[in-house]
Amino acid sequence: MAQLSDEQRMMRQSCRDFVDDVVLPFVKQNWKQEWSMEPEGRLPASILDSADKIGIRTLGVPEEFGGVELEKGTEVATFAMISEEIARGDSGLADKLVQNWKVSVLLRQLAPRPLQEKWFKRLVDDPQFLLAHCLTEPRGASDRWLPYNVPEAAMQTKAVKTDGGWIVNGRKQFISNGYDAGLYVVYANTNPKVGMQQGTSSFLVPRDTKGFSVARCNETLGCRYMNNGEVAFEDMFVPDDHVLAEGDALGKAGVYFRPGKIIQAAKNLGVGVRAFEATSEYVQNYVQGGRILIKHQAVALRLADMAVRIEAVRSLLERASAAVDADAPDAEVLCNMAKVFASEEMMKVTQHAVELHGGNGMMLDFGIEKLFRDAAIFLHMDATVDISKMKIVKNLFPQTAGKYAGPE
């Protein structure tokens, strides 16, 4: 990142030291732990404790509640910088942390002060406390990002008004931190007669709310140190004071969505950077055909290709981050471009890494195939690549782009 402030440089160095001294050694020495079918025991508590000690667990929480606030004019760029550094160690850990950051930004914008006082304190006091954002459903996922602003595309999760609050019924799936979060932001349809933009509300739901349950942990291909989950609501009562936004929740969630795209791209970049670092070291030390690998032209060309893709992603990411921080007119299209470009380019970078490691690239204990698996997840996080491209076209050509759903 160009032109870092002194504070940003210090934060980046702290994150790099944390990754090099704590995260990477854990991942390397405990590679089998990723495959544990007991989600609670995959990532030891000491990792989040260590993240808390360097002040990166509660980014976005107002200082008055004990959090770490970032400079408003460069907040998203700083989120991106830290996300990249943590994902260089492990993308699942990065996702675990950034859910806290993104939801904290949303809560400081929308939550009533008494709820901020209660839940920010809980988050700050407990290094293991996690937040989750519940949007995706079994019958509605990436299409939420277009969005289809028609009644027939409304969320299946519904909230009905009752005395003093709302009764919520439905289900959410593919939720980051969904299996073990302590507090959830839940989206539901509250007016089936209008489009999604006008009929979706959001609610703050503590884990111990009656009628709330965690259905399962989703066993994913990559990013396995973040426990993705499925949650269900059965006649769940949410009081009126736990409503974050009524009717226009998707619009107000823009403070979460745009930085989220930037952070996804940055995490993906971190995975690619780690793949490049590990591969660079390998090809300069491993001998085949009588010489170290890097002296074979085919290997050198692939390594150069990896470096070019990484720098191209970084350049677009920096531009998109600046646009989101400035709330520029092109912020929406640029953050989607960055997300798509990073996911496709880093997939190629990790493919090169696997292939340049030869047979070792396929060995679980060698650690390279993990980066390939983690990169594959990003093609589907925060909207699929194809849905994101459709959204880019809608931004570029709003008058002529197709609506993709509902009556013309």
pLDDT of residue 388: 92
pLDDT of residue 56: 95
pLDDT of residue 408: 56
Pair 79, 262: CB distance under 8 Å: yes
Stretches in the chain below the pLDDT threshold 70: 1-2, 143-147, 404-408
pLDDT tens figures, 381-405? 988 999 899 999 999 999 998 776 6
CA dihedral 358, 361, 362, 363 (to 10 degrees): 120
pLDDT of residue 104: 96
- State what percent of residues in the chain have pLDDT above 70: 97
pLDDT tens figures, 2-49? 578 999 999 999 999 999 999 999 999 999 999 999 999 899 999 999
| Ordered alpha helix ranges (H), 244-296 | 249-252, 254-283
Q: Using CA atoms, how far apart are residues 330 and 328, in angstroms rounded to an integer?
A: 5
pLDDT of residue 166: 98
**What domains can be seen in the chain, in order of their start residue?**
6-128 (1.10.540.10), 132-247 (2.40.110.10), 252-396 (1.20.140.10)
Among 345, 408, 395, 401, CA closest to 375: 345
pLDDT tens figures, 184-211? 999 999 999 998 889 999 999 999 999 9
Q: Which residue has the tokens 């290094």?
A: 127
Q: Using CA atoms, how far apart are residues 91 and 24, in angstroms rounded to an integer?
A: 11
| Summary mean pLDDT of the chain | 94
